[in-house]
Structure 1
Amino acid sequence: MTADTSPKLTPVSEPEHTPGPSLLPRPARIFVAGHRGLVGSAVARRLEADGHEVLTRGRDQLDLRDAARTEAFLRDVRPDAVVLAAAKVGGIMANSTYPVQFLEDNLRIQLSVVAGAHSADVPRLLFLGSSCIYPKLADQPIREDSLLTGALEPTNEAYAIAKIAGITQVNAYRSQYGRSYISAMPTNLYGPGDNFDLATSHVLPALIRRFHEAREADAAQVTLWGTGTPRREFLHVDDVAAACALLLNRYDEPGPVNIGCGEDLPISELASIVREVTAYQGEITWDTTKPDGTPRKLLDVTRLTELGFKPAVELRDGIAATYEWWLNQH
């Protein structure tokens, strides 16, 4: 018998002071596009825990880049809402190496799902983007109205432009057709279901794997990219999922709403936490010839906080649980 390594979801109740009726029926039938990914899997768990019926399709069943098939599927199942968490994602190396795919795949998915939802008369849709939509040198913490006020970070510009197009598409359906479609921009995410491939992963799972393998090999040092000085904000996927459920129920405004914890830390400090969690005893060195990326990326989460959202997972605890999950999987 194999051990149960699926993540255990801690129920997150809706804030008692949140006013107004829910924008979703209870229970609702909700299509989660991208349910096998980091965010989509967490959102599916959250919505099921809240008593909703979650509809899913894998890529082998439905390629979301195919507009005609996606529209036909949505017309057939007629969900009450769609959560668009499907995307081609990756870290600095993957974004720099494959900008065409990061631009075109994401544009095709977004155009297909949002247009298909409208055609199928789906009442609610939540489009999930990324904090990389904001200018590289935006004032900190980054407010939602910073969008399109400056140049983007070059290393993930193609991906960011695709996500900005998704926000614009959602706003266009709101203004032209009166659709109750919304956009949310999560900060850097981590948790069960993350990608630990060193060639395509984001910084936190990459650090976990690097330090684990260095400990297993008894390596004297681990060399990391950049200077370690950029600051980043991290949020556990179960907290993101709780925020998404809250937004689906309560939020209906144009433009993006940020999802984050409102706190950040230097990459060097993050690396030290991961080293401690993985019990690696060697040195950390920095390859300053490699890019740092955006100097700082902290989101202003005032809008979300005013809805009653508060993260439940502490960073070190979340990293430890994610490391345990990865060990059980691999």
Structure 2
Amino acid sequence: MNTSTKIYIAGHKGMVGSAVWRALEKKGYHNLLGKTSAALDLRNQQEVLHFFETEKPEVVIDAAAKVGGILANSDFPYQFLMENMQIQNNLIDGALKSGIEKFIFLGSSCIYPKFAPQPLKEEHLLTASLEPTNEWYAIAKITGVKACEAIRKQFNKDYVSLMPTNLYGTHDNFDLKTSHVLPAMLRKFHEAKLNDNAPVELWGSGTPMREFLFVDDMAAAVVYALENELPEHLYNVGSGKDITIKELAETIQKVTGHQGAILWDSSKPDGTPRKLMDVSKMKKIGWQYTTALEEGIEKTYHWFLENIEDVKEVKM
């Protein structure tokens, strides 16, 4: 691996893909390749094969996926299952057929069983049933993990899967209807501050515990996997630390400068009580996160303020 190695980042415009692109550029990699969905439909096998034959990338980083919240997963189960399998299968199989030796597949912690012991270990995969609200997406991602594992086993190629915890950061989705908990909270507190520090109402009791990882740390983990040959096929990527949703809300309130009340609507569901990743395998081989949660939220809020006119669906 050197700075002129041709690296294709699928999903390079997304939060994770763009962070990986920035991290690689910062380290001097200058032969980076990205295609928008309009230029290359990853669901189309022939287009993907033609792309690999024409561009001849040496490494593929798969940060592309059809993503959405609980409602989208519930309303469109077939699309979440099939389109994600099409995207990753075309990339994985195309890379194998094109002789690409290194492939980094990015998934999600939702691949693990709903009631798996905490913290979640890599060996918990396929030991029990999934969370029903996102099982379609999870099943697709599991097939990607197993495809990469099969290629390692059968063809001895360096295909590895990284499973991140809850990611947040710059270029996130701040739409209140479709965003995840941290960016949604950040926007809520910001708008309440502008509205004379109006009270902020949040769902549940605030007691569930969640783990968060700044997206630039995820990108650093991808770069580490790129520059090293990892001994196993599957690694969790996270901070290995979790906090209560109440603590998260108070941290975001502090960062945004909101000085009003926080109201908890306990009639709304809390969700899973705890979801923490065991990240000891990554730590053992030499990688761990560096961005503390408050620091990451500060960076995210700064980016949010600078890009407020461009952030999707943000209407101030």
Structure 1 runs of 4+ off > 6 angstroms?
none
Cross-structure match for 1:32: 9
The one-letter amino acid of 2:176's match is L
Out of 57, 72, 82, the residue aligned to residue 79 of structure 1 is 57
SS of alignment partner, residue 286 of structure 1: strand
Out of 184, 187, 193, the residue aligned to residue 215 of structure 1 is 193
Aligned pairs for 1:1-330 within 5 A: 24-52=1-29, 53-218=31-196, 220-330=198-308
The one-letter amino acid of 1:124's match is K
Structure 1 length normalisation: TM-score?
0.88
- 2:154 and 2:288 mapped to 1: Cα distance? 34
- 2:147 and 2:99 mapped to 1: Cα distance? 16
The one of the two structures with greater contact order (alpha-carbon pairs below 8 A, sep at least 6) is 1
Structure 2 length normalisation: TM-score?
0.92
- Aligned-pair distance for 1:291? 3.1
Spell out, residue by residue over 1:219-255, the C-alpha distance to the aligned partner (whole angstroms, 9 max, x if none): 6322222222221111111111111111122233444
- 2:75 and 2:185 mapped to 1: Cα distance? 20
- 1:221 and 1:200 mapped to 2: Cα distance? 22
Contact persistence 2:152–2:233 (CA under 8 A): no
- Aligned-pair distance for 1:301? 1.0
Contact persistence 1:230–1:292 (CA under 8 A): yes
Percentage identity across aligned positions?
50
- 1:272 and 1:237 mapped to 2: Cα distance? 21
Contact persistence 2:203–2:270 (CA under 8 A): yes
* Deviating more after overlay: 181-190 vs 102-111: 102-111
Spell out, residue by residue over 1:116-143, the C-alpha distance to the aligned partner (whole angstroms, 9 max, x if none): 1111111100000011111122212111
Supply the RMSD in Å over aligned alpha carbons.
1.6
Contact persistence 2:122–2:234 (CA under 8 A): yes
- 2:211 and 2:296 mapped to 1: Cα distance? 13
The one-letter amino acid of 1:109's match is I
Contact persistence 2:170–2:304 (CA under 8 A): yes
Structure 2, gaps ≥5 residues long: 309-316
- 1:288 and 1:90 mapped to 2: Cα distance? 25
Q: What is the aligned residue count? A: 307
* Deviating more after overlay: 78-87 vs 278-287: 278-287
Contact persistence 2:170–2:303 (CA under 8 A): yes
SS of alignment partner, residue 125 of structure 1: strand
Contact persistence 1:155–1:293 (CA under 8 A): no
Spell out, residue by residue over 1:9-37, the C-alpha distance to the aligned partner (whole angstroms, 9 max, x if none): xxxxxxxxxxxxxxx34431100000011
SS of alignment partner, residue 233 of structure 1: strand
- 1:102 and 1:169 mapped to 2: Cα distance? 18
- Aligned-pair distance for 1:292? 2.6
SS of alignment partner, residue 262 of structure 2: strand
Spell out, residue by residue over 1:272-315, the C-alpha distance to the aligned partner (whole angstroms, 9 max, x if none): 11111111222222333433332211111111111221322111
The one-letter amino acid of 1:74's match is F
- 1:63 and 1:215 mapped to 2: Cα distance? 42
SS of alignment partner, residue 103 of structure 2: strand
- 1:287 and 1:98 mapped to 2: Cα distance? 28
The one-letter amino acid of 2:50's match is A
